[in-house]
Amino acid sequence: MAGRTPRQTPTMSDVARHAGVSVSTVSHVLNKTRPVADATARAVLDAVAHTGYVPDAVARALGNSGYGTIGLAMSALSNPYFSNVVHGIDRHASAAGYSLLLADTHDAHDREIKAVSELLRRRVSAIILAPSGDGATAIHYASQVDIPIIVIDRFVPAPVDQIAVDNVEPTAALVEHLASLGHTRIAMLTGRSGLATTTERLAGYRTGLSRTGLGPEPSLEADGDSTEQGAVQAVRRLLSLQRPPTAIVAGNNRMTIGAMQALRDAGLRVPGDMALVSFDDFEWADLFQPRLTAIAQPALSIGEQAVEMALARIRDPKMPPRKVTIKPVFTHRESCGCPSVTRIPG
């Protein structure tokens, strides 16, 4: 990434012009000195990302190295899976002599831009990002000041280092397993629209149906919005169908919790009345009754490898971008309706 020349360096006036607001409004948004309407703040943050503007003092600081801080932008506070990723990142960064600075994106585009902006202000040496969408704006913003950015959890169409698990084949394996047990009406609780993980896991679900000779049925694809409450509503809709499913694939661990709640509220037993499997395991999954059949992502390893990619990129900014796909583990327990074993797909 080539740095900007002084003549090319964007100014606060450029941001104001692009956003259609005053320079003072830009200052209030960036420095948090006065409340600004949400729509205006979003316009300013988008303009900041579009122009690549970084305050002069921060830009000078970013030109120096050795600050020893790695920034992390993700929805860590609202996703149990990410808490383990954070642990892996923190542990490995600390061992390498780096501190960790966390900014929660809440899986929202405007919060993501704000998070990345704040991390750059804090003069981090690299940013690890779990993008809320394609991550393009945040990645562009970081690239303007030559700060390495490592994308985790969701692959994006950008020339940056990335690490995530395979979502398609493991989800297909869950469907095929349920079909092998005799289920012909298998539903899928899908995640939030716009996330790569949602798209890929839905593709895996449809692949599994195709391989087992089960045709797709749109009514069995229920939007769970990646949340507990979204899954509760989605399962209620599925149960209200004239021909409800006999098995459910939950697209993440939060939706699994919501599904369990909805099934319990309906007086249904797992797996006696409804088989339930999940993409994303829990540390406490062995404590559930019945124990949960799930795809387990190696969260600690993902965090550690993300730090390694960041450190390598700091050492050699000119190396080609890398894309690492990790195979998760199929953890076979009882919620699918058969005896408990553990296996790793070949």
Report the CATH number at residue 315: 3.40.50.2300
The structure tokens listed for 324 are 């690492």
DSSP string, 174-221: HHHHHHHTT---EEEEE--TT-HHHHHHHHHHHHHHHHTTPPP-GGGE
pLDDT band at 4 (very low <50, low <70, confident <90, very high): very low
Domain count across the chain: 2
Q: Is residue 336 part of a domain?
A: no
Q: Which of 10-14, 162-166, 236-240 has the lowest mean pLDDT?
A: 10-14
Model pLDDT for residues 114-145, shown as the tens digit of each residue: 889 889 888 899 999 999 878 888 888 888 88
Both 233 and 135 in a single domain?
Answer: no
CA R_g for the chain: 22
**In what helix (H) or strand (E) does residue 297 lie, and over which residues does it extend?**
none
Both 217 and 257 in a single domain?
Answer: yes
pLDDT band at 54 (very low <50, low <70, confident <90, very high): low
Both 174 and 263 in a single domain?
Answer: yes
Q: Edge to edge, what strands does the sheet with 149-152 contain?
A: 99-104, 69-74, 126-129, 149-152, 161-165, 323-326
Whether the per-residue pLDDT at 104 is higher than 60: the answer is yes
Model pLDDT for residues 265-322, shown as the tens digit of each residue: 999 999 999 999 999 887 666 667 788 999 999 988 999 999 999 999 999 999 999 9
Q: Is residue 335 part of a domain?
A: no
Which amino acid appears at position 135 of this protein? G
pTM for the whole thing? 0.76
Report, as an integer, the average pLDDT of 238-245: 97
**Structural domain range at position 57:** 6-164+300-326
Q: Backbone phi, then psi, for 27, in 5-degree steps?
A: -60, -40
The per-residue pLDDT for 9 is 59
The per-residue pLDDT for 282 is 73
Both 53 and 35 in a single domain?
Answer: yes
Both 282 and 304 in a single domain?
Answer: no
Residues 6+ apart with CB under 8 A from 316: none
How far apart are the C-alpha atoms of 43 and 215, rounded to whole Å?
A: 44
The per-residue pLDDT for 47 is 80
Both 127 and 224 in a single domain?
Answer: no
The residue among 132, 137, 130 whose CA lies nearest residue 53 is 137
Both 176 and 276 in a single domain?
Answer: yes
Q: Is residue 117 part of a domain?
A: yes
pLDDT band at 14 (very low <50, low <70, confident <90, very high): confident
How far apart are the C-alpha atoms of 168 and 202, rounded to whole Å?
A: 8
Q: Is residue 317 part of a domain?
A: yes
